[in-house]
Chains A and B, each alone.
Chain A
Amino acid sequence: MEESGFSTVVLTPTPEYHRKIGFPRVAAIAYPYGRVVGEVHDSGGQRAVLLEVLSVFEKAERAGEVYHLPFTWPEDPKDTKWHPSEMSPIVKLLLDKIKKARKEAGDR
């Protein structure tokens, strides 16, 4: 998009991937996957997030800037139910590798 002449902001819950890909402008938000703009029917909360995103468009001066937005999701992470009802095909396929990664992380 950016190479085609459009200015972009990515509103993302996972700004860490910026280290791998390199986004032009990043607005990082601590919201769960599938609801990065805000809660269902919370127009005021969604509006607040988006006004901050628009300010990122304005204040970013060079490629690669990351802005961490000041919002906190009201639920405990384990209560957010962001995940699909059934394990995704790729997770089923790689389950052994995922468990191994967990074990190695725990061992460190």
Chain B
Amino acid sequence: MGKIVDGFRFVPPALRAWLSQDVPSEPFNGYIPWTALRKPVKQLTFSLMTSAGINIKSDPPFNMEREKREPTWGDPTCREIPEYTTERDIDVNHLHINTSYIKQDINVMLPVKRFKEFEEEGIIGRLAPTCYSYYGFQLDAAVLLDTTMPKVAAKLSEEGVDAVLLTPA
């Protein structure tokens, strides 16, 4: 039997016990949307999207101060991250992970350089000009899903994106 990932392997026992309460014991049996690949991977245009709280320095950071005042609130906005962005160009704000690794190497969560290499080697069609970061702590995701993401989807369409890699923090 192959490897089975234990999703709580890295969390301490108390947090594991609490987080596990939120996980159903049965497989998901509801509706899952599906868009089949229309072309082989080597012809696809990709974008990347992470919930790691990354912004380029010319954009405002995600709002940590409001979350500290209102612990059940998470910033529902999104930031555009251009395809050539490096760790020197970004700030990272997140109250639930250690952000120091992303600040050393953006690719550990938003692998823009790796995907540009794949583009140059013909492994993928291309990386779209714009990638994205939002903020992953969303107890109520209504604003993120209903207001923020439609704008992101519109831009993905404008740039001819076929596929998106999502990297939750």
Contacts and interface: CB of A to CB of B under 8 A. Distances in A.
Interface of A: 1-24, 28-30, 32-41, 43, 46-47, 50-51, 53-54, 57-58, 62-64, 68-70, 72, 77, 80-86, 88-94, 97-99, 101-102, 104-106
B13 to A, nearest CB: 6
A10 to B, nearest CB: 4
B104 A41 contact: yes
20 contacts: A1-B149, A1-B164, A2-B35, A7-B44, A9-B163, A9-B165, A11-B165, A11-B166, A22-B30, A37-B109, A40-B108, A46-B107, A46-B108, A47-B114, A50-B114, A77-B9, A84-B95, A88-B96, A90-B72, A104-B17
B108 A38 contact: yes
A7 B46 CA distance: 9
B75 to A, nearest CB: 13
B161 A6 contact: yes
A14 B8 contact: yes
B interface, how many residues as a size bin?
35 or more
B115 to A, nearest CB: 7
Given A8-B166, A33-B97, 5 more contacts: A7-B44, A9-B166, A46-B108, A70-B2, A89-B67
Given A40-B108, A47-B117, A58-B41, A21 B28 contact: yes
Contacts of B14: 98-99, 101-102
Chain A binding surface, main DSSP class: mixed
B16 to A, nearest CB: 8
Contact of B168 (A10, A70, A104): A10
A104 to B, nearest CB: 7
Contacts of B32: 2, 22-24, 63-64
